[in-house]
Structure 1
Amino acid sequence: MGSLTPTTTKLSSKECEVSPDASGNVAYGDAESVSARHVDPALSFKMGLVNDAIDQIGFTPYHLKLFFLNGFGYAADSLLAFLPSIAATNVAAEFNPAYRRAGQLSLYIGLLFGALFWGITADIIGRKWAFNTSLLMSAVFTIVAGAAPNYESWTFFNAMLAFGAGGNLVLDTTVFLEYLPHGKTWLITLMAAWWGVGQTLAGLFAWAFLPNFSCASAATGCSRSENQGWRYLYYTAGGVVFVMSILRVTIIRFHETPKFSLCQNDDEMVIKTLGSIAEKYNRPFTLTVHQLQQCGEVSTSHAKSRTSISELTIHYRGLFSTRAQGLSTALLWLSWCLIGLAYPLFYIFLPDYFASRGADFGDMSAYLTWRDYAITNTLAIPGPVIAGYMCKTKLFGRKYTMAFGGVLSMAFLLAYTTARNAAANLGFSCVISIVINIYYGTLYAYTPEALPSAHRATGNGTAVACNRFFGIISVVIATFADTSTSVPIYLCAALFGGLAVISVIFPFEPARNHSL
């Protein structure tokens, strides 16, 4: 095993001074949640200087471009995550597999390993290469999945497209946060609206293709020639993601984030990256290499060997470096586990529920079923917009915005079971789509904010992996349970109630206390 890189720390320089609070914690502009003053003083002082420099530069057109380009990753992940469940019935009608949930299962397996792989490697070798390649990989395998000749190849390609998409949620929030001035970190929550854009595209594509290019009766089976709708769905989704991936590498020349460079003791690159942004947009920038070097070298970010077990150990140990940080990390991962079970049971299998309610609410054609599905998915967009506004307020902040979304989700999920006509069915599902995404959008943003920069992608990737693992559990539940009944809705309501409670007891509130 490798050992920690030795360091010579020069902490006496006045240029390194960053004022701690009464507890000895250093005030970080991006809500760094580790008491780095006691764990790694050089990192503590340097991070404070870099955060001050980012605040000095302020919000620029470069950040606006990142908002859109990183949002593409959100949209792609959401769009692709919905494809297997949307297409499952039609794919099964064509191939007649023994196990009809394999598509959803393979997707979550791919997302799980993708989140771990891209997250951990992003802390080891950098954010840049994953940011530039993950979307392209997803696009290629989505298009290939649309041409799958049999059920086995379709499930394999679902896993591969998901492996590429699995890193998007990890990298998009991490990269954007590490460039943002403190006063604009609420934009991470707003960026989750792109998740709703992806859902909307999934619903609209399904509405366009499945009623018009699918078997008349999925129960009796059909040939490929009369069942092209699900293939058109994959081709179109893959094409959209491909365009997103090209825009991501052509619209902006992405540099490694300054905070990752800082953790590599590459002070020159930190200054070069931030200085180029300041110069391009005519913003003030006074931080120098000399100031950073006077603070010494960061000692807790890496082992001597990047390929050793010690390297992995350092990143996970850094997530539990203090009692408060350890509690925060554990509660974050628990929250992602619970939402990973609740969200798919309601959303991913919502088509089953819609189809079953046709008998109660009048015979719903495929056109009406997918129309309602598209409308419901579109209402995922306002949730993060509302959450973004609430996160800015002193009354709610991050924690209580999540609690608010969790409580409302629980209430409306319970109310949903009382729906007795088609209008109520659609109305409740639309409201639930809004309030669930108030919670989910805020959790997406809060997670990287509550993790230390040197280990942020590892912690974020593990959180998303927890989410995907319980997504697998939800598929198993759907295999042996009847998702067309109200039981999954009651279970989802209970889970969201628990998530609201967890939100309140999170130890850190980035919106109010920046000395985490």
Structure 2
Amino acid sequence: MADFDDKNKFPPTFESQQPEHDVDELSMGKGDLLGKEGVDPVLEAKMHLINNAIDEIGMTRYQWKLFILNGFGYAVDSLILLIQSIIAGYAQYEFNPSYDNGLTIAVYVGMLVGALFWGLSADVIGRKYAFNVSLLISSVFCIVAGASPNWIVLGLFTCLSAFGAGGNLVLDTAVFLEYLPSKDQWLLTLMAAWWGLGQLIAGLFAWAFLPNYSCPGYPSETGVPCNWNTNPGWRYVWFANGALVFVMSILRITVIRLKETPKFLVGEGKDAEVVETLQFIAKKYNKPCSLTLDQMEACGVTGAANNQRRGSVSAHAKSRFSFAEVWVHLKGLFVTKRLGLSTSLIWFSWLLIGLAYPLYNVFLPVYLKTRGAALGGLSQSQQWRNYAIANACSIPSPILAGFMCRSKWFWGRRGTMIIGALVTMAFFFAYTQVRNNDENLGFTAAISFCLNIYYGTLYAYTPEVLPSAHRGTGNGVSIGLNRFMGIMSAVIATYADTSTPVPIYICAALYIAMAIVAAAFPFEPMGNRSS
């Protein structure tokens, strides 16, 4: 194995082999975020070479295509989550279930299992498989859910559609990040605008179908029969959503043929494929790329140093499909004290937002309905119009967060999350003083905007500070914990009155905790390159 420069962790001959370029343009002067953790010097050296090559190539149409196609996953995740919440009450009129919050639990169970399954599979077999099939799985079960004959079957298909969608937030961020030049990593935060677009689409579907194609209430109370003929609105919402997701899944396969990410391949020891992938992109878009196989091989064999280092871990167990493989990826997230602290705080943040977000947003239709009546009454059309307007306000906030997180004035990613959490908390407290319909809409829109400054930044920050070889697992557990708390929020809502301001106060307190945790994060990606 070649000797290393201890300071830079890459072969000393590397710089002399590079063509003359502006250092700021290539960002080669930047450090690798986890480069000082000393987990595997060989892997760190190769990762440094890959980051230099990606910076040298810069942004191309390949990354912009990924921005759009991966954004579909964000949109679908929010679509599935909100649509089940929106249609639940109308399906209850028809099926009269014994447990009203069953759909909420079903969707979060599906997303929990999906996040863990697709997240781990990303580290075991690669990123591209879930990218190609997850949306297709979701679309099929969305369409089938619209034809459900009873509450239990509806819950099953809602769960299965969520399973397909649940892995997208794990994979989409990882895939996009691992192709991004370091100076453009802030785009990962901006990509959360697709989440807001999904919320807007959900609101528009509700506004289009539910007011005119739904029962007025339970047949026992209204005397109006409630069946497929008189209550098709919620089914139309599922059909329309499934058709849209199907189109998105086809576009993912046809617009781009995703190559496995170089940062996954390097952990597999496939140096030749790393160079081939990067050279292919550079050649296709007429960009420079001076990375060679000789440079990669000069670093040594990935994992060889780990086998001799006490307490360190390799990228895989002896058997890929075993509990030992799961343990390897979990252990890799805690291999140093600083990395372990970072992982723990990230997971705790996802627990907090996982409880706060559903308590307010998933049960918002109930709160809006009761507040609308208390404030003088709103028609169904007006309620869902306001719901769509509020969701539309969540689109620009990740764009603002993207610009904030690259600015020293806002202390990078951590400062952006602190500001987003505290401002959201302030509007939560203010929301309890709403007295008329206009105030209700205004504060709802403001909360929707501010909340996604924090949420969008956390989505981007999480994969940025996780090691590449274990990024899928760490991100999957993060999203999984979020979904678990979504299940708990449904249980809480069963025994709490969501029409009162109490959940609002709880959410506000949770956002204070999120701000404190964000301030304690040990890593700041701004000015550094993701590993």
Normalising by structure 2, what TM-score?
Answer: 0.92
CA contact (8 A) 2:74 2:168 kept: yes
Query: Is the counterpart of residue 304 in structure 1 residue 318 in structure 2?
Result: yes
How much has 1:310 moved relative to structure 2? 2.3
Identity %: 55
Give matches, 1:477-516, under 5 Å: 477-514=492-529
Shift in Å at residue 514 of structure 1?
A: 4.8
The residue aligned with 2:111 is: 111
Paired residues of 1:115 and 1:462 also in contact (CA < 8 A): yes
Change (3 A) 1:29 1:154: farther
Q: By how many angstroms is 1:10 displaced?
A: 3.5
Distance 1:141 1:32, change over 3 A: farther
Alignment-derived partner of residue 172 in structure 2: 172
- 1:346 paired residue number: 360
The DSSP-based 3-state class of the residue aligned with 1:152 is helix
Provide the C-alpha distance between the structure 1 equivalents of 2:530 and 2:162, rounded to a whole number of angstroms: 37
- Give the residue type in structure 1 aligned to 2:507: C
Residue 296 of structure 1: CA displacement?
A: 1.3
Structure 2 residue aligned with 1:203: 203
Higher mean alpha-carbon deviation, 430-439 vs 77-86, is at 77-86
- Kindly indicate whether residue 11 of structure 2 is the aligned counterpart of residue 16 of structure 1: yes
Q: 1:286 aligns with which of 278, 285, 290?
A: 290
2:462 — aligned with what?
447
Opposite residue 122 of structure 1, the aligned amino acid is: A
Q: Following the alignment from structure 1 to structure 2, what is the Cα–Cα distance between the partners of residues 165 and 264?
A: 27
Counterpart check, 1:78 vs 2:92: no
CA contact (8 A) 2:84 2:158 kept: yes
- Specify whether residues 34 and 225 from structure 1 end up closer, same or farther in structure 2 by C-alpha distance, changes over 3 A only: farther
Computed over aligned residues only, the root mean square deviation of the Cα atoms, in angstroms, reads 1.7
Q: 2: distance between equivalents of 1:29 and 1:445?
A: 19
Say whether the 8 Å CA contact 1:112–1:469 is kept in structure 2.
Answer: yes
Q: Which residue among 460, 480, 486 is the counterpart of 1:465?
A: 480
TM-score, with structure 1 as normaliser: 0.94
- Quick one: distance in 1 between partners of 2:170 and 2:383? 33
1:48 equivalenced with 2:48 (yes/no): yes
Q: Which residue in 1 is equivalent to 2:308?
A: none
Q: Distance in 2 between matches of 1:61 and 1:416?
A: 43
Is the CA contact (8 Å cut-off) linking 2:73 and 2:172 kept in structure 1?
A: yes
Structural mapping, 1:27-66, within 5 Å: 32-33=33-34, 35-36=36-37, 38-66=38-66
Q: Aligned to 1:395, what secondary structure does the other structure show?
A: helix
Q: Report the Cα offset of residue 15 of structure 1.
A: 6.4
**What's the offset of the Cα at 1:307?**
1.6
Deviation of the 1:290 alpha carbon: 1.0
Hey, what does 1:127 align to over in structure 2? Answer: 127
Match of residue 269 from structure 2: 265
**Runs of 4+ that moved beyond 2 A:** 9-19, 27-36, 216-221, 512-516
Deviation at 1:361, TM superposition (A): 1.1
* Counterpart AA for 1:337: L
* 1:251 corresponding residue in structure 2: 255
For 1:185-264, what aligned pairs fall within 5 Å after superposition? 185-218=185-218, 220=222, 222-264=226-268
Q: Return closer, same or farther for 1:411/1:15 CA change in 2, 3 Å cut-off.
A: closer
* Separation of aligned partners in 1, 2:403 and 2:529: 19
Tell me: CA distance 1:282–1:514, structure 2 relative to 1, closer, same or farther (3 Å): closer
Q: Deviation of residue 348 (structure 1)?
A: 0.6
> Following the alignment from structure 1 to structure 2, what is the Cα–Cα distance between the partners of residues 446 and 256?
22
Contact 2:31 2:528 (C-alpha < 8 Å) held by counterparts: no
Tell me the alpha carbon deviations over residues 400-422 of structure 1, each in whole angstroms, 9 at most, x when there is no partner: 00000000000000000001000
- Whether 1:335 aligns to 2:349 is yes
* Offset at residue 268 of structure 1 (A): 0.7
* Contact residue 394 and residue 512 of structure 1 kept, 8 A: no
Q: Is the 8 A contact 1:34 1:325 kept in 2?
A: no
CA deviation string 1:178-233 (max 9, x = no partner): 00000000000000000000000000000000001001234546122100000000
Q: Distance in 1 between matches of 2:209 and 2:57?
A: 47
1:149-187 CA distances to partner (integer Å, 9 max, x unpaired)?
111100000110011111000000000000000000000
Unaligned runs of 5+ in 1: 1-8, 20-26
8 A Cα contact 2:30 2:528, kept in partner: no
Aligned to 1:5: none
Report how far residue 16 of structure 1 moved: 2.4
Which whole-Å CA distance do the structure 1 matches of 2:528 and 2:67 have between them? 24
Deviation at 1:31, TM superposition (A): 5.2
The 1-side partners of 2:29 and 2:149 are apart by 53
Report how far residue 84 of structure 1 moved.
1.1
Paired with 1:374 and 1:16, the residues of 2 have a C-alpha distance of 55
Distance 1:358 1:188 in 2: 37
Partner letter of residue 302 of structure 1? H
Tell me if structure 2 keeps the 8 A contact 1:11–1:42. no
Give the AA of the match of 1:441: G
Give the match for residue 309 of structure 2: none
Alpha-carbon contact 1:336-1:463 (below 8 Å) kept: yes
Match of 1:3 in 2: none
Give the residue type in structure 2 aligned to 1:339: I
Distance 2:458 2:145 in 1: 31
Residue 29 of structure 1, CA deviation: 6.2
Query: Partners of 2:209 and 2:31 in 1: how far apart?
Result: 44
Q: Determine the structure 1 residue equivalent to 2:23.
A: none
- The alpha-carbon distance between structure 1 residues 152 and 173, as it changes in their structure 2 partners (threshold 3 A), is same
Q: What is the number of residues matched between the two proteins?
A: 500
- 1:294 deviation in Å? 1.2
* Cα separation, partners in 2 of 1:15 and 1:444, compared to 1, 3 Å: closer
1:69 corresponding residue in structure 2: 69
Which residue matches 1:429? 444
Matches of 1:275 and 1:282, distance apart in 2? 10
**Secondary structure of the corresponding residue to residue 296 of structure 1:** coil
The 8 Å contact of residues 387 and 442 in structure 1, kept in 2 or not, is answered as: yes
Q: More displaced, 362-371 or 401-410? A: 362-371
Which deviates the most, 452-461 or 303-312? 303-312
Give SS of 2:404's match. helix
Q: Tell me: CA distance 1:272–1:416, structure 2 relative to 1, closer, same or farther (3 Å).
A: same
Q: Deviations over 1:460-496 (max 9, x none)?
A: 0000000000000100011111111100000000001
Q: CA deviation at 1:253?
A: 1.1
Q: Which amino acid aligns with 1:511?
A: M
**What per-residue deviation string (whole Å, max 9, x for no partner) do you get for residues 238-273 of structure 1?**
111100000011001110001101100001110111
Hey, what does 1:22 align to over in structure 2?
A: none
